[in-house]
Structures are given as C-alpha cells and as structure tokens.
C-alpha cells in the first residue's frame, strides 16, 4: 500500500497537473503554429519566389535497381523540412517570450518581497503591564 499512497501523493501534487496542462496546451499550440506556417506564411513566400509550393519541393533519388517494379522512387522532401524548421523557430520564439515574461514577473515579485523584508518592522505597542512598570520606574526616579 505504500507504493500506491506515494504515487497518489506524486500525482496529486500541483507540479504534475501543471505539467500535464502544459503538454496539452503545447500540443494544441504546435498545431496552430503549423497551420500558420503552412497556410499563412509559406504561400506568400512561395508566391514571392515564383509560385513555388514548398510542400512539393523535393529531390527524387534515382530508382533502385533492386526495388520491385512499380515502387515509387525515394525522395528528399526538403520543402517540408524548411516548413518544419520555420515551425520550430516560431515555437521557440514564443517559448522564449513566455519564459522571459515569467522571469520579469518573478523578478518583480522577488523585489517586492525583498523590499517588504528590508523595511523595519514598527516597534510593538507596549502591553498594559509594561506601561504600568514604566510609570512605577519613573515615579521611583523622581523620589
């Protein structure tokens, strides 16, 4: 039973849940970036360089004499590779900005905490007993 209890504690911790949410959102974000690259960015770039569709860019390798008749020749799809590189660069840039924003917020919070800790705490109000003892001391000094 110790293993199950330990696993439950691990799974219920906030870090695991946060990581799972991050993975799910990251997967969805990757699909959005892929769509932006394939459907928005690459068509104008292809148009600018002469109406080229990047998904069709490939190098067809010579036919293999040992391959059975009717098999398609192997290709190097460098156009698809270019699109994937652009996908990666956009995702990396977004992650960079996200981490940079989190770091700014973390530094700001840390400075606020340091400022609060550095401020001297006001002296506590003396208790009724301390006030009474102070009055007695003062009366004894005056006699």
Computed over every residue of the chain, the mean pLDDT equals 84
Domain 2-142 has CATH 2.60.40.10: no
User: What tens digit of pLDDT does each residue of 70-104 get?
Assistant: 788 888 999 889 888 888 888 888 888 888 988 88
- Give residue 93's pLDDT: 87
Domain boundaries, the chain: 2-142
Non-local (6+) Cβ contacts of 42 within 8 A are 54, 83, 86
Question: CA-to-CA distance for 134 and 15, rounded, in angstroms?
Answer: 54
**Contact assessment for residue 19 and residue 13, using Cβ atoms and an 8 Å cutoff:** no
In this prediction, residues 12-29 reach a mean pLDDT of 79
Helical segments of the chain, H only: 2-12, 14-36, 42-48, 78-118, 128-142
The sign of the CA dihedral 126, 127, 131, 136 is negative
């Amino acid at each position: 039973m110790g293993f199950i209890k330990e696993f439950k504690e691990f799974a219920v911790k906030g870090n695991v849940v946060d990581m799972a949410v991050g993975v799910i959102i990251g997967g969805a974000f990757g699909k959005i970036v892929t769509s932006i690259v394939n459907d928005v960015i690459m068509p104008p770039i292809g148009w600018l360089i002469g109406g080229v569709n990047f998904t069709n860019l490939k190098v067809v390798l010579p036919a293999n004499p040992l391959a059975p008749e009717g098999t398609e020749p192997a290709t190097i799809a460098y156009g698809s590779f270019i699109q994937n590189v652009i996908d990666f660069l956009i995702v990396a840039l977004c992650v960079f900005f996200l981490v940079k924003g989190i770091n700014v917020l973390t530094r700001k919070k840390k400075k606020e905490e340091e400022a609060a800790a550095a401020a001297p705490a006001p002296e506590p109000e003396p208790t009724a007993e301390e006030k009474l003892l102070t009055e007695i001391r003062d009366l004894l000094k005056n006699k």
